[in-house]
Amino acid sequence: MLLEKLNWRYATKKFDPARPVPQDKIDKIVEAVRLAPTSSGLQPYDLLVITNPDIKAKILPIASGQTQVVDASHILVFAAWDTYTADRINAAFDFVEAERQLTGEALDNWNAYRHRLLNAYVPRDARTNFEHAARQSYIGFGFAIAEAAMLEVDATPMEGFDADALDELLGLRARGLRSVTMLPLGYRQADQDWLVGLKKVRRPKEEFVTVIR
Ligand SMILES: Cc1cc2nc3c(=O)[nH]c(=O)nc-3n(C[C@H](O)[C@H](O)[C@H](O)COP(=O)(O)O)c2cc1C
Protein backbone atom coordinates (compact mmCIF):
# COMPACT_ATOMS: atom_id res chain seq x y z
CA MET A 1 0.00 0.00 0.00
CA LEU A 2 2.73 2.46 0.96
CA LEU A 3 4.80 1.53 -2.10
CA GLU A 4 1.79 1.99 -4.36
CA LYS A 5 1.25 5.50 -2.95
CA LEU A 6 4.96 6.32 -3.19
CA ASN A 7 4.73 5.52 -6.89
CA TRP A 8 1.60 7.69 -7.16
CA ARG A 9 3.18 10.73 -5.54
CA TYR A 10 5.50 13.14 -7.30
CA ALA A 11 6.96 16.56 -6.58
CA THR A 12 3.92 18.50 -7.72
CA LYS A 13 4.71 21.51 -9.89
CA LYS A 14 1.16 22.88 -10.30
CA PHE A 15 -1.56 22.80 -7.68
CA ASP A 16 -5.24 23.52 -8.28
CA PRO A 17 -5.79 26.74 -6.29
CA ALA A 18 -9.53 25.98 -6.12
CA ARG A 19 -9.09 22.69 -4.21
CA PRO A 20 -8.07 23.06 -0.57
CA VAL A 21 -6.99 20.05 1.47
CA PRO A 22 -9.63 19.19 4.14
CA GLN A 23 -8.60 19.89 7.73
CA ASP A 24 -8.87 16.22 8.80
CA LYS A 25 -6.20 15.27 6.26
CA ILE A 26 -3.94 18.12 7.36
CA ASP A 27 -4.38 16.93 10.95
CA LYS A 28 -3.25 13.41 9.98
CA ILE A 29 -0.20 14.69 8.13
CA VAL A 30 0.76 16.88 11.10
CA GLU A 31 0.27 13.93 13.45
CA ALA A 32 2.61 11.79 11.31
CA VAL A 33 5.27 14.48 11.77
CA ARG A 34 4.67 14.61 15.52
CA LEU A 35 5.08 10.83 15.71
CA ALA A 36 8.34 10.80 13.73
CA PRO A 37 11.37 9.64 15.69
CA THR A 38 14.14 12.09 16.61
CA SER A 39 17.54 11.63 18.18
CA SER A 40 17.07 11.15 21.95
CA GLY A 41 13.41 12.09 21.42
CA LEU A 42 14.21 15.79 21.66
CA GLN A 43 11.94 16.79 18.74
CA PRO A 44 14.24 19.75 18.09
CA TYR A 45 12.06 21.47 15.52
CA ASP A 46 8.71 23.19 15.22
CA LEU A 47 6.14 22.80 12.49
CA LEU A 48 4.34 25.81 11.06
CA VAL A 49 1.13 25.41 9.08
CA ILE A 50 0.51 28.37 6.81
CA THR A 51 -2.80 29.11 5.12
CA ASN A 52 -2.73 32.92 5.22
CA PRO A 53 -2.88 34.17 1.58
CA ASP A 54 -0.87 37.35 2.31
CA ILE A 55 1.94 35.36 3.89
CA LYS A 56 1.86 32.84 1.03
CA ALA A 57 2.15 35.74 -1.46
CA LYS A 58 5.17 37.03 0.45
CA ILE A 59 6.77 33.57 0.33
CA LEU A 60 6.48 33.47 -3.49
CA PRO A 61 9.57 35.64 -4.20
CA ILE A 62 11.42 33.98 -1.31
CA ALA A 63 10.83 30.63 -3.07
CA SER A 64 12.14 31.93 -6.44
CA GLY A 65 8.62 32.36 -7.79
CA GLN A 66 7.65 28.68 -7.37
CA THR A 67 3.87 28.96 -7.68
CA GLN A 68 3.22 25.91 -5.50
CA VAL A 69 3.54 28.16 -2.44
CA VAL A 70 0.54 30.28 -3.45
CA ASP A 71 -1.60 27.62 -5.16
CA ALA A 72 -1.30 25.00 -2.41
CA SER A 73 -3.92 25.44 0.32
CA HIS A 74 -1.43 24.75 3.11
CA ILE A 75 2.33 25.09 3.48
CA LEU A 76 4.15 23.16 6.18
CA VAL A 77 7.39 24.81 7.28
CA PHE A 78 9.90 22.70 9.18
CA ALA A 79 11.93 24.99 11.45
CA ALA A 80 14.77 23.52 13.50
CA TRP A 81 16.18 24.78 16.79
CA ASP A 82 19.01 27.21 16.11
CA THR A 83 21.10 25.40 18.74
CA TYR A 84 20.78 23.07 21.73
CA THR A 85 20.70 24.82 25.11
CA ALA A 86 20.60 23.38 28.62
CA ASP A 87 17.08 24.83 29.00
CA ARG A 88 15.83 23.08 25.87
CA ILE A 89 17.38 19.75 26.74
CA ASN A 90 16.22 19.92 30.34
CA ALA A 91 12.68 20.85 29.30
CA ALA A 92 12.52 17.84 26.97
CA PHE A 93 13.89 15.48 29.63
CA ASP A 94 11.63 16.95 32.34
CA PHE A 95 8.62 16.41 30.11
CA VAL A 96 9.39 12.72 29.51
CA GLU A 97 10.19 12.27 33.18
CA ALA A 98 6.78 13.69 34.17
CA GLU A 99 4.83 11.87 31.44
CA ARG A 100 6.37 8.53 32.42
CA GLN A 101 6.34 9.32 36.14
CA LEU A 102 9.90 8.08 36.44
CA THR A 103 11.19 7.26 39.94
CA GLY A 104 14.01 5.33 41.55
CA GLU A 105 16.54 3.62 39.31
CA ALA A 106 14.67 4.50 36.13
CA LEU A 107 14.92 8.18 37.08
CA ASP A 108 18.62 7.87 37.93
CA ASN A 109 19.30 6.29 34.55
CA TRP A 110 17.24 8.97 32.82
CA ASN A 111 19.19 11.73 34.55
CA ALA A 112 22.53 10.09 33.71
CA TYR A 113 21.44 10.11 30.05
CA ARG A 114 20.33 13.75 30.41
CA HIS A 115 23.78 14.75 31.68
CA ARG A 116 25.59 12.87 28.95
CA LEU A 117 23.55 14.80 26.41
CA LEU A 118 24.01 18.15 28.16
CA ASN A 119 27.77 17.60 28.24
CA ALA A 120 27.88 16.57 24.59
CA TYR A 121 25.54 19.16 23.03
CA VAL A 122 25.60 22.39 25.03
CA PRO A 123 29.34 23.18 24.52
CA ARG A 124 29.15 22.51 20.76
CA ASP A 125 28.99 25.40 18.30
CA ALA A 126 25.51 26.54 17.28
CA ARG A 127 26.00 25.60 13.62
CA THR A 128 26.77 21.96 14.45
CA ASN A 129 23.78 21.84 16.79
CA PHE A 130 21.45 23.44 14.25
CA GLU A 131 22.57 20.99 11.57
CA HIS A 132 21.91 18.08 13.91
CA ALA A 133 18.45 19.46 14.70
CA ALA A 134 17.80 20.06 11.00
CA ARG A 135 18.59 16.41 10.25
CA GLN A 136 15.91 15.39 12.73
CA SER A 137 13.42 17.65 10.96
CA TYR A 138 14.05 15.79 7.69
CA ILE A 139 12.68 12.60 9.26
CA GLY A 140 9.40 14.38 10.01
CA PHE A 141 9.51 15.90 6.52
CA GLY A 142 9.75 12.38 5.06
CA PHE A 143 6.90 11.14 7.22
CA ALA A 144 4.74 14.08 6.08
CA ILE A 145 5.50 13.30 2.43
CA ALA A 146 4.58 9.64 2.96
CA GLU A 147 1.40 10.35 4.95
CA ALA A 148 0.27 12.92 2.38
CA ALA A 149 0.75 10.28 -0.31
CA MET A 150 -1.23 7.73 1.72
CA LEU A 151 -4.11 10.24 1.83
CA GLU A 152 -3.67 11.09 -1.87
CA VAL A 153 -2.80 14.64 -1.00
CA ASP A 154 -0.22 16.14 -3.34
CA ALA A 155 2.92 17.73 -1.96
CA THR A 156 6.12 19.37 -3.10
CA PRO A 157 9.20 18.82 -0.96
CA MET A 158 11.06 22.14 -1.09
CA GLU A 159 14.50 23.34 -0.20
CA GLY A 160 14.56 25.86 -3.02
CA PHE A 161 13.95 29.01 -1.00
CA ASP A 162 15.92 31.69 0.82
CA ALA A 163 15.88 30.39 4.38
CA ASP A 164 17.14 33.66 5.89
CA ALA A 165 14.37 35.63 4.17
CA LEU A 166 11.72 33.11 5.29
CA ASP A 167 13.04 33.28 8.86
CA GLU A 168 12.72 37.05 8.72
CA LEU A 169 9.17 36.94 7.30
CA LEU A 170 7.95 34.43 9.87
CA GLY A 171 9.91 35.85 12.82
CA LEU A 172 11.63 32.51 13.36
CA ARG A 173 15.01 33.71 14.63
CA ALA A 174 13.33 35.52 17.52
CA ARG A 175 11.87 32.14 18.50
CA GLY A 176 15.26 30.41 18.28
CA LEU A 177 14.28 28.65 15.06
CA ARG A 178 15.61 28.46 11.50
CA SER A 179 13.64 27.21 8.53
CA VAL A 180 14.92 24.03 6.88
CA THR A 181 12.29 22.80 4.42
CA MET A 182 8.79 23.61 3.20
CA LEU A 183 6.03 21.27 2.08
CA PRO A 184 3.17 22.88 0.13
CA LEU A 185 0.09 20.60 0.24
CA GLY A 186 -2.82 20.60 -2.19
CA TYR A 187 -4.19 18.81 -5.23
CA ARG A 188 -2.45 18.59 -8.57
CA GLN A 189 -3.73 20.54 -11.58
CA ALA A 190 -2.76 17.76 -13.95
CA ASP A 191 -3.46 19.58 -17.22
CA GLN A 192 -1.00 22.33 -16.27
CA ASP A 193 1.72 20.23 -14.66
CA TRP A 194 4.64 19.26 -16.92
CA LEU A 195 5.87 16.59 -14.49
CA VAL A 196 2.70 14.64 -13.80
CA GLY A 197 2.88 12.30 -16.80
CA LEU A 198 6.61 11.67 -16.75
CA LYS A 199 8.13 8.39 -15.66
CA LYS A 200 9.33 8.20 -12.07
CA VAL A 201 13.08 7.75 -12.32
CA ARG A 202 15.16 6.12 -9.62
CA ARG A 203 18.60 4.50 -9.69
CA PRO A 204 18.32 0.74 -10.34
CA LYS A 205 18.14 -1.35 -7.20
CA GLU A 206 21.23 -3.38 -8.17
CA GLU A 207 23.29 -0.20 -8.34
CA PHE A 208 21.64 1.52 -5.36
CA VAL A 209 21.76 -1.33 -2.85
CA THR A 210 24.83 -3.09 -1.56
CA VAL A 211 24.03 -6.35 0.16
CA ILE A 212 26.64 -7.50 2.64
CA ARG A 213 26.21 -11.15 3.50
C1 LIG B 1 14.96 18.02 0.24
C2 LIG B 1 14.27 18.25 -1.10
C3 LIG B 1 14.22 19.51 -1.65
C4 LIG B 1 13.52 19.75 -2.84
N5 LIG B 1 13.35 21.03 -3.30
C6 LIG B 1 12.50 21.24 -4.34
C7 LIG B 1 12.11 22.55 -4.72
O8 LIG B 1 12.52 23.55 -4.13
N9 LIG B 1 11.23 22.70 -5.73
C10 LIG B 1 10.70 21.63 -6.41
O11 LIG B 1 9.88 21.82 -7.33
N12 LIG B 1 11.06 20.36 -6.09
C13 LIG B 1 11.92 20.16 -5.06
N14 LIG B 1 12.24 18.86 -4.69
C15 LIG B 1 11.65 17.75 -5.44
C16 LIG B 1 12.71 16.81 -6.09
O17 LIG B 1 13.25 17.40 -7.23
C18 LIG B 1 12.00 15.49 -6.40
O19 LIG B 1 11.52 14.95 -5.18
C20 LIG B 1 12.93 14.49 -7.07
O21 LIG B 1 13.33 14.93 -8.34
C22 LIG B 1 12.26 13.13 -7.21
O23 LIG B 1 11.07 13.22 -7.94
P24 LIG B 1 9.64 12.84 -7.35
O25 LIG B 1 9.54 13.45 -5.98
O26 LIG B 1 8.66 13.47 -8.29
O27 LIG B 1 9.53 11.35 -7.30
C28 LIG B 1 12.94 18.64 -3.52
C29 LIG B 1 13.02 17.36 -2.95
C30 LIG B 1 13.64 17.16 -1.74
C31 LIG B 1 13.65 15.78 -1.15
Listed residue (178, 188, 133) closest to 156, CA to CA: 188
H or E element that contains 46: strand 45-50
Give the chain's residues under pLDDT 50: none
65: left (phi over 0), alpha (psi -120 to 50) or beta: left
Dihedral, 8, 10, 12, 15 alpha carbons, nearest 10: 10
Name which of 49, 54, 58, 51 is nearest 72 in CA terms.
Answer: 51
| pLDDT for the residue 139 | 99
Domains and CATH numbers, the chain: 2-84+124-208 (3.40.109.10)
Residue nearest to atom 7 of ligand 1 (CA): 158
Kindly report, residue by residue over 1-19, the tens digit of the pLDDT: 999 999 999 999 999 999 9
Residue 46 bridge partners (DSSP): 79
Mutate to test the pocket of ligand 1, among 64, 158, 195 (most ligand atoms within 8 A of CB): 158
**Residue 131, amino acid:** E
Q: For position 4, what pLDDT does the model report?
A: 98
- pLDDT score of 49: 99
Instruction: Report the pLDDT value the prediction gives residue 32, as an integer from 0 to 100.
Output: 99
pLDDT computed for residue 161 by the predictor:
98
pLDDT digits (tens, 9 = 90+) for 167-198: 999 999 999 999 999 999 999 999 999 999 99
Within 10 angstroms of residue 145's Cβ, the number of other Cβ atoms is 22
Q: Are residues 88 and 118 in contact, defined by beta-carbon separation less than 8 angstroms?
A: no
Question: pTM score, two decimals?
Answer: 0.98
With a 6 Å cutoff on the Cβ, whether 160 touches ligand 1 is yes
Q: 74-81 and 177-186 as β-strands: parallel, antiparallel, unpaired?
A: antiparallel
d(CA 21, CA 183): 13
